[in-house]
Amino acid sequence: MSRPQVAADDATADARDCQRQLLDWLLHQAYPLWARQGVDPVNGGFYERLAPDGSPLDEPRRSRVQPRQIYAFALAPSLGWRGDVSAIVERGMGFFLNSYRRDDGLYRTLVAPDGSPLDSAALLYDQAFALLGLASARRLLGPDPALEDAAPALLEVLFSQLKRVGPGFYSGLPMRFPLLSNPHMHLLEAALAWCELDTDPAWRTLADEIAPLALAHFMDPATGALRESFDEAWQPLPGPEGARIEPGHQFEWAWLLMRWCPDKDSSAWRAARALIELGEQHGVRQGFAVDALLDDLSVQEPDSRLWPQTERLKASALAAALTGERRYWINTAAAARALLRYLETPMPGLWHDRRTADGVFIAEPSFASSFYHIVAAIHALTEALRP
């Protein structure tokens, strides 16, 4: 897509300086540490967490973490890391396909470190990440029958087992309800990733179902805020669950809607800008995106997880690249500076996942699941700043 010329003003220079710091951390600290300590050399696959000293914790492994790590490592060559990425991704994908795939073709949610099943429930959220991981491996490794066959096979099972009569998908098996916007968001992300790789129209058809569903049903017509939990008719659930608004997801949906339809005269583009504005106005406190609001846009959870900072950065960077507007570059630099704070740990290459409302970063193991968010944000920022 064509992009307007970005003026070299202070905001852009600030964003570029942050990008250099983030990329330096990623290439020289994070990738080497997680390739060395985060990959299981015995069983295959990826560890869930690294302790503050960098040692791996031998814990049950969630389905979503494996393709997230595949995604994170598959982007490494394009960002400049020269480690043995292909071997890491091939082994990780082998562990994932062998350990998580159920007899019906869906992917279970939890296994032991040796790959034996612990929880065979199939969540829509995990299927979305399976598709994203497959796309990431395919992009890195090139044509591979195992990858070429696994993705459309999963898509077919999704439609046969989890597709609703109306728009969207059930949340999983055996628990289909409530209906959730979050797994649909990641399903859109996976569909867009496959659209870039595969001419099969099924991927665009999937994306073209989910994005309009979000525009029509996920967003509150009064405030424009995107909700999380719904009943069978895509009406918000009563009580706190239905009233929950996550600033991180306002930004993440904005990033996806701009990718789905970059036409600045479209309803998707207008909705994306409105979501960014809502997130900035109501969801950012003291420079950090908070965890949750209520549907009156008051703060419900004032703590700040790491991942909303990365989604703020992705949305702002893409909006800045597509429009050249200075306010988006200002937001981009602010989000990048916030993210850098989470990376200030005694062990280089780790991160803090949680910051309290009074500004204290919690000392705890680093979750591998956050690496996907961090790498995606650094990649989005790097792409936005390319000439």
Domains observed in the chain:
1-22+219-387 (1.50.10.10), 38-176 (1.50.10.10)
Give the mean pLDDT of 206-227: 97
Rounded to 10°, the helix 145-161/201-213 angle is: 40
Its pTM stands at: 0.97
Return left, alpha or beta for 224; rule: phi > 0 is left, psi -120 to 50 is alpha, else beta. Answer: left
Give 67-98 pLDDT, tens digit per residue: 999 999 999 999 999 999 999 999 999 999 99
Task: Please report, rounded to a whole number, the percentage of residues in the chain having pLDDT higher than 70.
Answer: 98
**pLDDT at position 262:** 86
147 pLDDT more than 90: no
Question: Mean pLDDT over all residues of the chain?
Answer: 96
3 pLDDT more than 60: no
4 pLDDT more than 70: no
Least confident stretch, 146-155, 243-252, 365-374 = 146-155
